[in-house]
Amino acid sequence: MIISKLPNVGTTIFTRMSQLAMETGALNLSQGFPDFDGPQALREAVGRHVLAGHNQYAPMTGLPALREQVAAKIARCYGRTVSADSEVTITPGATQAIFCAIQALIRPGDEVIVFDPCYDSYEPSVELAGGRCVHVPLALPGFAIDWQRLGEALSDRTRLIILNSPHNPSGALISAAELERLAVLIRERDIYLISDEVYEHLVFDGVRHASVLAHEELYQRALVVSSFGKTYHVTGWKTGYVVAPPALSAELRKVHQYVSFCGVTPLQWALADYMAEHPEHVEELPAFYQAKRDLFCDLLAGSRFSFSCAAGTYFQLADYSAIRDDLDDLAMAEWLTREHGVAAIPVSVFYQQPPKDLRLVRFCFAKREETLAQAAEKLCVV
């Protein structure tokens, strides 16, 4: 008999809801991926590099040209000079990056603080390393850090805190002032950070993303994770990166080299070319996605859902209390998919212990305008 190392893990809600959307023909606003392609020049570059023979292993740490472009972007966006050689590591996706970072840091008996609701890959990665997650709920309704609860959660066993801003699923942001408050809180403790910043360029309403990369003290104990897939609308490429001080990068790479060794070579070449030729892409991204957010929210204004427009990411939460108070959010998501043709994600799945009477579902607005219009039309008659 197989004794599972992850006995509480099954098929993810993202796979389940996408499958249900496909089976029912519903519009899929559940799983977080665009229904449009990445830039044509980026896609054409892949074919060019495949035909040019760039099809063998890339260096374990990533293609030098791509690591240099990441370092240049960090300098432009956050004012930090990092070494492309010793501080930037290209990985096959951000989830793999987070897994490797956790395996590099966590030892049996260590505790890891995560903020609920949190992305579903964190806890299994911690458990596989022999650690234990300590769940600290974010304060509702704005999903802000509850500093009192965070302080109470710290112990001599706390080894790691995982941050996520812009936050999935809520879209909430951590401010520069909050990063400074965190620095003060952990200054005298031997605690590391993983900062999940995969939506770093999806921040709206003129607000600037507060990155750990821009905080000198926190960066010295941090591994900062981001995603080319989210930034360039190519989630299926599963390509991400980690930026960390040299000593932490070295430990990350020890694990990374035995998990995947390297990422896909022609994709790295294509991304390096596109980043060099189109540095404006990341600058235009906030307005691009804010227009989609605003369209979706404007179209939902006539519905019975209640919501505040997301501050970041490409997800919008909506409260359905006025529509069905007799359904939990999983049942509501399935009902919306089957009966009204729009698939969503229940927010309770991001919690260890969901708040009582949580009535929130998450919609992805990384979709074409016509998809958003069709979805909103269906949701307005619910």
Query: What is d(CA 378, CA 185) in angstroms, rounded to the nearest whole number?
Result: 47
- Asked if residue 20 and residue 55 are part of one domain, the reply reads no
Query: What is d(CA 183, CA 193) in angstroms, rounded to the nearest whole number?
Result: 10
Among the candidates 242, 258, 278, a domain finishes at 278
Whether 144 is in a domain gets the answer: yes
Tell me, what's the pLDDT at 347? 97
Nearest to 54 by CA among 302, 225, 362, 272: 272
CATH number at 67 reads 3.40.640.10
What are 130-143's pLDDT values in tens digits? Answer: 999 999 999 999 99
Q: Give the range of the structural domain holding residue 195, as residue numbers without chain letter.
A: 42-278
Mean of pLDDT values over 5-23: 92
The pair of three-digit structure tokens given for residue 29, joined into one six-digit string: 């606003």
- Asked if residue 216 and residue 94 are part of one domain, the reply reads yes
Query: What is d(CA 46, CA 51) in angstroms, rounded to the nearest whole number?
Result: 9
Query: What is d(CA 32, CA 364) in angstroms, rounded to the nearest whole number?
Result: 6
Whether 131 is in a domain gets the answer: yes
pLDDT at 357 over 90: no
Nearest to 382 by CA among 324, 319, 316, 318: 324
Whether 199 is in a domain gets the answer: yes
Confidence of residue 10 (pLDDT cuts 50, 70, 90): confident
Q: Do 350 and 119 form a contact (C-beta atoms < 8 A)? A: yes
- Asked if residue 353 and residue 324 are part of one domain, the reply reads yes
- Asked if residue 199 and residue 213 are part of one domain, the reply reads yes
The pair of three-digit structure tokens given for residue 77, joined into one six-digit string: 């966006």
The pair of three-digit structure tokens given for residue 182, joined into one six-digit string: 């965190």
The answer to whether the peptide bond before residue 169 is cis (omega within 30 degrees of 0) is yes
Mean of pLDDT values over 99-114: 98
Mean of pLDDT values over 37-51: 98
- Asked if residue 123 and residue 249 are part of one domain, the reply reads yes
The per-residue pLDDT of the chain, averaged, comes to: 97
Nearest to 39 by CA among 212, 288, 244: 288
Query: What is d(CA 113, CA 4) in angstroms, rounded to the nearest whole number?
Result: 24
Query: The dihedral of CA 35, 36, 37, 38: what is its sign?
Result: negative
Among the candidates 245, 278, 311, a domain finishes at 278
pTM exceeding 0.85: yes
CATH number at 350 reads 3.90.1150.10
pLDDT at 173 over 90: yes
What are 205-224's pLDDT values in tens digits? Answer: 999 999 999 999 999 999 99
Tell me, what's the pLDDT at 214? 98
Among the candidates 238, 258, 278, a domain finishes at 278
Confidence of residue 331 (pLDDT cuts 50, 70, 90): very high
Burial class (CB in 10 A: 0-12, 13-18, 19+), 86: middle
- Asked if residue 25 and residue 114 are part of one domain, the reply reads no
Confidence of residue 157 (pLDDT cuts 50, 70, 90): very high
Tell me, what's the pLDDT at 352? 94
Mean of pLDDT values over 34-54: 97
The whole-angstrom distance between residue 263's C-alpha and the CA centroid of its chain comes to: 19
Nearest to 297 by CA among 348, 351, 365: 365
Nearest to 353 by CA among 196, 132, 146, 138: 138
Q: Do 213 and 196 form a contact (C-beta atoms < 8 A)? A: no
- Asked if residue 286 and residue 273 are part of one domain, the reply reads no
In the chain, the number of structural domains is: 2
Query: In sequence order, what are the beta bridge partners of 111?
Result: 132, 158
Query: What is d(CA 116, CA 340) in angstroms, rounded to the nearest whole number?
Result: 29
- Asked if residue 158 and residue 141 are part of one domain, the reply reads yes
Contacting residues for 93 by C-beta, under 8 A, at least 6 apart: 227, 229, 238, 239, 240
- How far, CA to CA in Å, does 303 sit from each of 108, 316, 323, 329, 345? 49, 14, 10, 18, 18
- Asked if residue 336 and residue 217 are part of one domain, the reply reads no
- Asked if residue 178 and residue 152 are part of one domain, the reply reads yes
In the chain, what percentage of residues exceed pLDDT 90? 98
Whether 3 is in a domain gets the answer: no
What are 232-288's pLDDT values in tens digits? Answer: 999 999 999 999 999 999 999 999 999 999 999 999 999 999 999 999 999 999 999
